[in-house]
Structure 1
Amino acid sequence: MGVLVLMIVGAVLGWLFSIIVDLSDTRRIALNVGAGMVGSLIVGSAVGGRIAMNGLTTTALLLACIGAVALVTTANYVGKHALD
């Protein structure tokens, strides 16, 4: 259940980032959603340990949000400069 929560939180954060920076390209929006999910899962799993079995702690969720935002920001920065 914790993995599902991390995936949803990461996807929502990636989608919100797309709204904030006013993206209209569906590929970039999908990249943000995917990057948010991956960042949230990586950091949440690293911090939370066995989140699938033990549940999700508040600390793991908070750090997963930070990881999602960091990976989405990095993906957008790299993507922007790769296209220039």
Structure 2
Amino acid sequence: MDESLKRATQEGNIVELYASIQRDGNVLRQIDEMEFVDTPLHIAAAEGCFDFAMEVMILKPSFARKLNQQGLSPIHLAWKRGVKTKF
């Protein structure tokens, strides 16, 4: 993941997310093609950037099922952070 997208993800900067996509329209697809990786959704969930996380899930729903190198999904990371959601 390029540094500007990584920084945007950690900060929850949705404007920079779209700027990254404008610079490289395949940026999210390239991440999705990796087998085990911390996607922008993993990082946003771990950082507590939930508006950003929702935006990424709209753009790339497959990230919600993807596992990182430790075998954790984004929901695992959000849970580890102690997030309580209402359904």
TM-score (norm 1): 0.20
Higher helix share: 1
| Greater relative contact order (Cα < 8 A, sep 6+) | 1
* Max Rg structure: 1
TM-score (norm 2): 0.20
